[in-house]
Amino acid sequence: MEHLDKLIDKEPVSFELGDGMRNCAQLMVTCLVDAIYPSVGISAVEVLEAQGITVEFPSDQTCCGQPAFNSGYWKDARAMARHTLDVFSVTNGPIVVPSGSCTDMIVHQYTELLKDDAEYLAKAQDVAGRTYEFTQFLVDKMGLDDVGARFRGRAAYHSSCHGLRGLNLREQPRVLLSHVEGLKQVELPCSEECCGFGGLFSVTMSSISGSILERKLDNLEESGADLLLGNDVSCLMHMAGGLKLRGTQIEVKHISEVLNTHD
Amino acid sequence: MTNLTFYERTRDALEDPTVNQAIRVGARRFVSHRASTVSGLPEMDRLRDRARVIRAETLNKLDVFLAEFADNVELNGGRVFWAKNADEANDYVVKLAEARGVRHVVKSKSMVTEEIELNHALEVAGVRVVESDLGEFIAQLAGERPSHIIAPVLHKTRGEVGELFEKELNVAYTEEPIALNDIARSHLRDIFLSSDMGISGVNFGVAESGTLSLVTNEGNGRFCTTTPRIHVALMGMERLVPTFADLGTMLPVLEISATGQRLTVYNNLLTGPRRSGEPDGPEELHVVILDNGRSDTLASEVAEILYCIRCGACLNICPVYQSIGGHAYGSVYPGPLGSVLTPTLMGLEQWHELPHASTLCGACKEICPVRIDIPSLLLRLRDASSKANHSPVWIRTLMRIYSIVARHPKLFQLGMRFASVSSRLFAKEDWLNRLPPPFNGWTDHRNFRALAKKSFGQQWAERRSTEHTS
């Protein structure tokens, strides 16, 4: 646990904002949470509010453009990136995203995508500099390790690839989960291996994707977990769909839902 | 080359449980060997950083280093041939064989000769070619191409090799690795001694001395390059290091990443043919430096792939490679590296599926000894491929529509509302077990979650209005 303690250097909980506002964060909810898993967004908001953060939700937000970017439609992705930047560049304060891959898109790919567009490159740099994945925000930015959650279960945590390798989200979710009362974290064999989702890859090369998914679900079953957690609903939806087809009774939740449970 | 499409080859690979198992076990063994070696080497990260710098500096002044290398090879008494493409390289070797009356060629493992299909060219000209690397020897007996750039028959089990030897070499069946090795060894010994020409690849050419660095684990490489009277070495034009000091960085990085060995068994440094008074070595040394698309790659937006030192680590770690193995890629360069290199060297139009054969999980970038950002290169090729309209029309249309809708929030919300209602119409307890084409691939392997009754946006708006009224 030494490395965990080292990680949390207890930054002050409050952070400075431009125009006199304090402790206010913007929520970029992501299109998948908005449409398929709204409860993840609600949980994220409630966890942040419980920490004294005022959450704002710019209602014109849509999709960060990652699906188009990853399938090679950069022109379309650029258009979506510009829209997202228009929505968030006029806001203040940190932008919190309950998804590692969408955060990585905004933080790392927008600048590549818009490198020839000076106006939007500047917006991209501003927005990238204050965008955080949900657990990254809680742990790295707010210096928290315990949000006072209670949840009974044996949880396996899946580190989604873009958050893991793009944002180095290794310990942050685990730190938070280690302080959840009643929650036992079990080792997921090959936990850093991809679940096979890969966006449109799961449709166009679905049998390869399915074969990777099978290995992931075998590992999950082997872990003895009754709960699968992660910080990207895309991968969670992929694995939940596989479990559903198998008929395996393992609950699937986004980490914010566990952190927002107190019973 | 196979006539099947990428999808057919993939299906065949996924449906073969033996291949599947052999690849997964083999690839993972490489990964764990490498990991255990690296865990005892705190300096590995620094070495990798240094190796990346060396690769970058070499490629930035490749013309200078190539000229220096070629001059030195010739000063040492070797011949250099610059081959623009596969045909020129093959022609040179075939004509050389004919001119010197060569009937038998023995080869050590070389991916670049696989790339140009040199064996085929020689055999058409009536020259017998025998592969001497154990894996390549097995692949050649089976009439297959290598499925891995380091371990050519990663896809085969010991039992399959035993059956192959029994059938092709008239020996008793065994699946004992040492016994199998002995069979190959005694079979190859006479071939080494009776061959007139040895052909090898090159791991690194050292510019400052014209030295060829070759690493092998079986010693066959040394046999190939010293016993026959002619040695022909083929190298891709990017495979240079400026100095011996640089080689000192690159070799351990390569060897650890490839097999997890601190040091490969045979590290050969060959500087010129036999000199007068020396007891052994070839009478002639020919170095064929191959372009075959590399100059164009160097000028392209995926030039970074030329940093590759062919260790194979990205294949081993790749979840896609672990699922389908090397043959399904259809190219001599499989895995993440191949998914960039193959379309770049051989044409995106013919190979446009390969850049899409990745989940973009980034494990390849993480393990790459010279830290090539493979996912980013794959994405650039995907962009190029969509610009050239290689992808299916439905994806192009879907992305265009999605992008337009996503710029109009009201329309986006309306679209989501529509998707929610229609998905819920067919859902049973929030899940659909069938999606219509072209999305049916998804439900072939997992169920699909219906959209929520109320989106987050709607719930947020309601929450806000309650707050205001209360």
Q: Which residue has the tokens 């499409």?
A: B5
pLDDT at residue B207 tops 50: yes
Model ipTM value: 0.96
Q: What is the CATH number of the domain that holds A155?
A: 3.40.50.1860
Mean pLDDT throughout B226-252?
Answer: 97
- Enumerate residues 373 to 402 of chain B having a beta carbon within 8 A of any beta carbon in chain A: 376, 379, 381-386, 391-392, 395-396, 399-400, 402
Mean pLDDT throughout B151-166?
Answer: 96
Give the side-chain half-sphere CA count within 13 A for B119. 22
Residue B84 to residue B71: CA distance in whole angstroms? 18
Question: Is there a contact between A199 and A234 (Cβ–Cβ < 8 Å)?
Answer: yes
Mean pLDDT throughout A224-243?
Answer: 98
Residue B162 to residue B181: CA distance in whole angstroms? 10
Residues A104 and A197 in one domain: no
- The domain tally of chain A equals 2
pLDDT at residue A2 tops 90: no
Minimal Cα–Cα distance from A94 to chain B, Å? 19
pLDDT at B2: 56
Residue A33 to residue B433, Cβ atoms within 8 A: no
Minimal Cα–Cα distance from B152 to chain A, Å? 22
Sheet strand arrangement including A150-158: A181-186, A150-158, A227-230, A251-254
Minimal Cα–Cα distance from A239 to chain B, Å? 8
> A229 is in which domain, residue-wise?
146-259
Tell me which residue in B323, B442, B448 faces A208 most closely, judged by beta carbons. Answer: B323
Q: Mutating which of A33, A40, A82, A203 best tests the B interface, going by the most B Cβ atoms within 10 A?
A: A203
Determine contact: A71 vs chain B, CB below 8 A: yes
pLDDT at residue A8 tops 50: no
- Enumerate residues 167 to 186 of chain A having a beta carbon within 8 A of any beta carbon in chain B: none
Domain boundary (A140, A162, A189) is at A140
Residues A37 and A15 in one domain: yes
Determine contact: A97 vs chain B, CB below 8 A: no
Q: What is the CATH number of the domain that holds A130?
A: 1.20.1050
Residues A136 and A181 in one domain: no
- Is the domain defined by B41-292 classed in CATH 3.40.50.1460? no
Residue B406 to residue A65, Cβ atoms within 8 A: yes
Residues A132 and A52 in one domain: yes
Residues A64 and A131 in one domain: yes
Chain B residue numbers touching A197 (CB-CB < 8 A): 359
Residue A162 to residue B362, Cβ atoms within 8 A: yes
Chain B residue numbers touching A71 (CB-CB < 8 A): 356, 382, 386, 391, 395, 399
Residue B380 to residue B333: CA distance in whole angstroms? 19
Neighbours of B321 (CB within 10 A): 30
Chain B residue numbers touching A29 (CB-CB < 8 A): 456-457
Task: Express each pLDDT in B250-287 by its tens digit.
Answer: 999 999 999 999 999 999 999 999 999 998 899 999 99
Chain A residue numbers touching B360 (CB-CB < 8 A): 70, 161-162, 198-199, 201
Q: How far is CA A113 from CA A116, A167, B377, B379, B383, in A?
A: 8, 18, 13, 11, 11
Residue A261 to residue A148: CA distance in whole angstroms? 9
Task: Express each pLDDT in B357-383 by its tens digit.
Answer: 999 999 999 999 999 999 999 999 999
Residues A66 and A81 in one domain: yes
Determine contact: B411 vs chain A, CB below 8 A: no
pLDDT at A56: 97
> Which pair of structure tokens corresponds to residue B81?
């041939």
Domain boundary (A140, A162, A185) is at A140
Strands B230-236 vs B197-200: parallel, antiparallel or unpaired:
parallel
pLDDT at A1: 41
Residues A166 and A249 in one domain: yes
* H/E segment holding residue B213: strand B211-216
* Residue of chain B whose Cα is closest to the Cα of A71: B382
pLDDT at B466: 86
Confidence of residue B19 (pLDDT cuts 50, 70, 90): confident
Residues A92 and A32 in one domain: yes
Residue pairs between chains A and B whose CB atoms are closer than 8 Å: 202
Domain boundary (A105, A123, A140) is at A140
- Enumerate residues 92 to 151 of chain B having a beta carbon within 8 A of any beta carbon in chain A: none
The residues of chain B that CATH labels 3.40.50.10420 are 41-292
Neighbours of A26 (CB within 10 A): 21
> Which pair of structure tokens corresponds to residue B232?
């022909």
Residue A59 to residue B409, Cβ atoms within 8 A: yes
Q: Which residue has the tokens 């896609």?
A: B320
Chain A residue numbers touching B357 (CB-CB < 8 A): 205, 208
Residues A38 and A53 in one domain: yes
